[in-house]
Structures are given as structure tokens and as C-alpha cells.
Chain A
Amino acid sequence: QPVLTQPPSASASLGASVTLTCTLSSGYSNYKVDWYQQRPGKGPRFVMRVGTGGIVGSKGDGIPDRFSVLGSGLNRYLTIKNIQEEDESDYHCGADHGSGSNFVWVFGGGTKLTVL
């Protein structure tokens, strides 16, 4: 099963842009990854799914156009433009692997985004 790696923290100034990275373990370069936003004290919120061709399907409900994704090799990126205070959150990536009795759903350790 894939292992997802995320840097523990990131920061960006109000109005600036930031790109968060989720790295798949070797051998899983064709996997799609889901991004989630988790505001303090809240449950995760689906942002969007990304593969090597970019977004897969639709964004989650209420996700603004400022959020976009890209995929390249083992990396899956979430870019936030014109950062707002409300974007300060933990961002998790996740991927599902296998099917039926071999199914697992794995997550990265999360990146804490601080808005300066």
C-alpha cells in the first residue's frame, strides 16, 4: 500500500500563494490523491481529488476557485492563491488502495498551514 508524506508545516502571508505537497511512495506514481481541509476543532472537508492529469471529478462543496491542484510523478500539489485568514487549517492528503477485502484508505501526516 502507498505511504503518503507531507511536510508538517507551511506558512504564507495574507494575500500570497502557497503550494502544499503530498508525496507518494515509490511505485505508486499513477495513484490519485484526495486533499482535505481541517479547520481547528472541525472534521475534515473534502477539497478535491488529483491525479497526474490534474483534478479528477469536482471540487468539494463550497471550495473557492482559489484552490487548485496539480500532479507530477510521485507528487500531488495543492495550491492556494490569495490566501485568506479562513485558509489557516491542517491539510491532509489521502489515497485508497485495493478493493474488497484488500481495501485500505491511507493518509499523510498532515500539513499545518499558518497564515501570517
Chain B
Amino acid sequence: QVQLQESGPGLVKPSQTLSLTCTVSGGSISSGGYYWSWIRQHPGKGLEWIGYIYYSGSTYYNPSLKSRVTISVDTSKNQFSLKLSSVTAADTAVYYCARERFNWGQGTLVTVSS
């Protein structure tokens, strides 16, 4: 069964870049046919899609975040990553990675604070 695990700093300073990595096990990102997403959840709120990367490397982002988001993939490590630039306190959230709708990581809390 495919499993996903998010990793990265839990604390980021305002104006800096948030960087997270999702490590996939039990399946290969490069095997094709799936898109790999980042989603976040503000404290006590609903889910917000950030963007996804297709196995071919094509990326698609939420228009509301597009100017600050970069998603990349490293198939040799079976990982994909998220970078969110110029963060503010409004970016404090639990960040999840997912394989389409089927498999989700457990999430990682990122707090933006000086």
C-alpha cells in the first residue's frame, strides 16, 4: 500500500521560504498515471489545495497561491517537494501530501513566526 510522509521545518520566519518534502513508499512516483498534491489545513478550518505535480513533471497550482508556490519531483529519491515563498502568519497550517484522492500523509504543522 502506498504511504506518504511529510518532512521539513516546523517553524519558519515571516518573509522566508517554507520548504517541505514528501517521501513516498510502497509505490513509485515515476510509474505513471497519478498526480501528487500538496494540501494544507489552517487550524480548525477546512482543506485547501495548493498544487500538484504529474509524474511527467508538469505542475498545476491553486491560482490564489500560484505566484508563491513551486512543486518539484525527485524520482531517484521517490520524493516530491513544496516551496512556498514570502510566508506570513496566514500560512501557518498543517501541510499534507497526497496521491490524488486515494492516499494522504499524516501531515506536518508549519508555524510562521519570528
Contact = CB atoms under 8 A, between A and B. Distances in A.
Chain A partners chain B: yes
B77 interface: no
B104 interface: yes
Contact of B1 (A42, A46, A61, A108): A61
A31 B93 CA distance: 28
Q: Interface range on chain B: under 10, 10 to 19, 20 to 34, or 35 or more?
A: 20 to 34
A104 B62 contact: yes
Nearest to A1: B63
Given A42-B106, A103-B60, A105-B37, A49 B49 contact: no
Nearest to A44: B104
Interface residues of A, number: 22
B63 A104 contact: yes
A109 interface: yes
Contacts of B106: 42-43
Given A45-B104, A60-B102, A105-B37, A110 B60 contact: no
Contacts of B62: 104
Contacts of A61: 1
B107 A43 contact: yes
B96 interface: yes
Interface of B: 1, 37, 39, 45-49, 52, 60, 62-63, 96, 98, 101-107
